[in-house]
C-alpha cells in the first residue's frame, strides 16, 4: 500500500504500554499514533481488538516440511515456499528467518533441499509474490562431512541473518541420554523410509562421524564467520561448559538451552537466549528439556521462536500475559522488538512513528489469540 490508511479503536501494544486509540499509516510506514477515539468514517475500525507489531521469527523449521512433505518426496520448490509463506503470514509472522539444515542427513539429499529452498526464496522475492519478508537462518550440523561445503555454497548471502552451530549426535547436548539425533522434531526419523532402501547406510557410525568431523568443522565455520556481522548462535546447550566454550569463541546467542544451568550460565555471560514457543504452549519440552516457563520465571529468556509450530508464537505471547503475569508489551517484545534487535532489523519490531507498518490485528476469543488482519509494509497480506 502506498498512500494513507488509518486503523482506529484499537488496543495498540507499544514497547511500554497499551494505548487505546488509532494508528496512521503512510507510504508503508507508521506515521502517527493517536490516543482516544477517532471519528473518521474511512478508518478501519478495530472494535477494541489488539494491534501488535508483525512477529519476527528467528527459527522456524516449517519450510523444510513444505519442501519435503513425505519420505523421498520433494515438492516443487517455489510452490513449497509459497505454501510456507502463506501459513506463516496467516499466524501473524511478517519477518521470517527460514531455518535450513546445513550438512545433509543420511544421504537423503537434504543438501539439495538447501539449494532448492534458497533459489526458490530468491525467485519468489524477485517476483514479488511473498506475503512475508524472508531471510535465512543456516543451521550447521558440525558432525557431517558435507557441512562446510554446503555452508559455503550459500554463505555469504545477504539474506543470511543468523547462523547456528549444532551437534545432534546421539549422546550429545539435547540427546545426552543417547536418543534422537540428526534433526529437531524427529524429522530425520520421519524422512527415512524409502530413501534408506535406495541408498546404502553409511559405513561410519554417528559417533565416528562426530569424532572425525565435529572439531575441524566447528573451527572452519568460526574461521569463515570471523569478522562478519551475522549473529552466531550455539544450539541445545546442556552444560555450563558448552556455554563457556561458545562465549570464548565469541558466540553471542544461546539457542534452545536444554537445562537451567546452561541458561543461567548464558545469562551470566550476557549471551542472548532464544527459547521455543511450542515448549511454552505445551508447558513442557517434548524432549525432556527445561520448561520455557521456568526460564521465564528465572529471567533467562530474551527471544521466543516458533521452532516447529508457526502458530505457537502468537499463542505463547498471550499465554505469558494471561497465565504468568508478564505484561503484554513485554511478552510481545519477545517476538518483535527483541528478535529485531538481535538480527539487526532496525526498521521494524515496534509500533512507533517511522517504523515499517508490519502489523497484526488480534482478537482474543476464549483466551486464544486470533489474527484476523496482517499488514507488511502497510500492505494488507492476510
Q: Which residue has the higher pLDDT, 370 or 3?
A: 370
- pLDDT of 159 above 80: yes
pLDDT surpasses 70 at 372:
yes
Measured in whole angstroms, the distance separating CA 186 from the mean position of its chain's CA atoms is 18
- For residue 285, count other CB atoms closer than 10 A to its CB: 17
Q: 263 or 194, which is more confident? A: 263
pLDDT band at 208 (very low <50, low <70, confident <90, very high): confident
Going by their DSSP bridges, the two strands 359-365 and 368-376 should be labelled as antiparallel
Confidence grade of residue 174 (pLDDT, cut at 50, 70, 90)? low
Query: How far is Cα 98 from Cα 43, in angstroms, rounded to an integer?
Result: 34
DSSP 202: P
pLDDT 10s digits, 177-187 = 555 554 433 44
Tell me the per-residue pLDDT of 47-79, one tens digit each, with 9 for 90 and over.
999 999 999 999 999 999 999 998 778 899 999
Span of 119-128, 193-202, 364-373 with lowest mean pLDDT? 193-202
- pLDDT in the model for residue 189: 38
With vertex at residue 362, the alpha carbon angle to CA 358 and CA 367, rounded to the nearest 5 degrees, is 145
pLDDT of 173 > 80? The answer is: no
3-state helix, strand, coil in the chain (%, to 5): 35, 25, 40
Q: List the grid coordinates of 332.
A: 510481545
215 and 148 Cβ atoms separated by less than 8 Å: no
Q: Which pLDDT value is given to residue 178?
A: 52
Res 190: pLDDT: 39
The closest of 375, 258, 257, 364 to 315, measured between CA atoms, is 364
H or E element that contains 57: strand 55-60
- All CATH 3.20.20.140 domain ranges of the chain, comma separated, are 55-347
Query: Does the pLDDT of residue 31 top 90, yes or no?
Result: yes
More confident residue, 157 or 1: 157
Which cell numbers in the block locate residue 3? 498512500
- Tell me the β-bridge partners of 21: 10, 35
Which pLDDT does position 193 carry in this prediction?
A: 37
Q: What is the pLDDT of residue 41?
A: 76
- The DSSP-derived string for 155-176 is -S-TTEEEEEEE---TTSGGGT
More confident residue, 135 or 196: 135
Does 242 score more than 70 pLDDT? yes
Report whether pLDDT(112) > 80: no
User: What does the radius of gyration of the chain's CA atoms come to, in whole angstroms?
Assistant: 21
DSSP code of residue 254: E
pLDDT at res. 182: 45
Nearest partner of 373 among 187, 115, 131, 117, judged by Cα? 131
CA dist 23 → 52, 328, 359 (Å): 11, 19, 10
Output the CATH code of domain 55-347.
3.20.20.140
Second CATH level (architecture) for the domain 1-53+348-382: Roll (2.30)
How sure is the predictor about 104, in pLDDT bands with cuts at 50, 70 and 90? low
User: 48: phi > 0 → left, psi -120 to 50 → alpha, else beta; which?
Assistant: left
377 — pLDDT class (breaks 50, 70, 90): very high
Q: Say what the pLDDT of residue 186 is.
A: 40
**Percent of the chain with pLDDT strictly greater than 90:** 79
Backbone φ and ψ for 273, nearest 5 degrees, come out as -120, 125
Q: Is the peptide bond before 89 cis (omega within 30 degrees of 0)?
A: no
Instruction: Say whether 181 sits in a helix, a strand or coil.
Output: coil
Which is more confidently placed, 205 or 93?
A: 93
At 275-321, the pLDDT tens digits run 999 999 999 988 789 999 999 999 999 999 999 999 999 999 999 99
The stretch 30-38 carries a mean pLDDT of 96
pLDDT of residue 184: 38
Taking residues 127-146, what's their average pLDDT?
96
Looking at the chain, which residues constitute the CATH 2.30.40.10 domain(s)? Answer: 1-53+348-382
Ramachandran area for residue 107 (φ above 0: left; ψ -120 to 50: alpha; else beta): left
Amino acid at each position: 500500500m502506498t498512500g494513507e490508511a488509518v486503523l482506529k479503536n484499537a488496543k495498540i501494544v507499544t514497547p511500554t504500554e497499551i494505548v487505546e486509540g488509532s494508528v496512521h499509516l503512510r507510504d508503508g510506514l507508521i506515521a502517527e499514533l493517536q490516543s482516544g477515539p477517532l471519528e473518521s468514517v474511512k478508518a478501519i475500525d478495530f472494535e477494541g481488538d489488539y494491534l501488535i507489531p508483525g512477529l519476527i521469527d528467528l527459527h522456524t523449521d516449517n519450510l523444510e516440511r513444505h519442501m519435503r512433505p513425505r519420505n523421498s518426496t520433494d515438492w516443487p520448490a517455489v510452490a513449497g515456499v509459497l505454501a510456507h509463506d502463506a501459513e506463516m503470514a496467516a499466524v501473524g509472522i511478517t519477518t521470517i528467518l527460514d531455518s535450513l539444515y546445513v550438512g545433509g542427513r543420511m544421504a537423503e539429499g537434504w543438501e539439495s533441499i538447501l539449494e532448492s529452498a534458497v533459489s526458490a526464496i530468491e525467485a519468489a522475492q524477485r517476483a514479488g509474490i511473498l506475503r512475508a519478508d524472508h531471510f535465512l537462518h543456516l543451521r550447521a550440523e558440525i558432525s557431517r562431512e558435507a557441512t562446510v561445503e554446503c555452508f559455503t555454497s550459500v554463505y555469504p548471502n545477504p539474506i543470511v541473518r543468523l547462523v547456528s552451530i549444532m551437534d545432534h549426535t546421539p549422546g550429545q547436548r539435547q540427546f545426552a541420554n543417547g536418543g534422537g539425533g540428526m534433526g529437531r522434531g524427529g524429522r530425520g526419523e520421519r524422512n527415512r523410509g524409502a530413501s534408506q532402501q535406495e541408498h546404502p547406510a553409511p559405513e561410519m557410525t554417528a559417533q565416528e562421524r562426530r569424532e572425525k568431523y565435529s572439531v575441524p568443522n566447528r573451527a572452519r565455520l568460526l574461521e569463515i564467520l570471523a569478522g562478519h556481522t551475522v549473529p552466531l548462535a550455539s544450539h541445545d546447550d546442556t552444560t555450563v561448559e558448552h556455554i563457556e566454550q561458545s562465549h570464548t569463541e565469541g558466540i553471542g546467542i544461546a539457542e534452545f538451552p536444554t537445562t537451567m544451568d546452561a541458561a543461567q550460565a548464558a545469562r551470566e555471560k550476557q549471551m542472548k537466549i532464544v527459547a521455543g514457543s511450542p515448549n511454552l504452549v505445551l508447558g513442557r519440552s517434548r524432549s525432556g528439556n527445561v520448561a520455557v516457563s521456568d526460564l521465564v520465571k528465572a529471567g533467562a529468556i530474551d527471544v521466543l521462536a516458533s521452532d516447529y509450530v508457526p502458530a505457537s508464537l502468537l499463542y505463547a505471547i498471550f499465554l505469558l500475559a494471561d497465565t504468568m503475569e508478564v505484561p503484554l508489551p513485554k511478552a510481545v517484545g519477545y517476538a518483535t522488538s527483541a528478535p529485531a534487535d538481535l538480527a539487526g532489523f532496525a526498521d521494524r519490531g515496534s509500533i512507533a512513528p517511522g517504523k515499517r507498518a508490519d502489523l497484526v490485528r488480534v482478537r482474543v476469543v476464549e483466551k486464544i489469540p486470533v489474527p484476523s488482519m496482517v499488514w507488511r509494509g502497510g500492505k494488507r497480506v492476510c
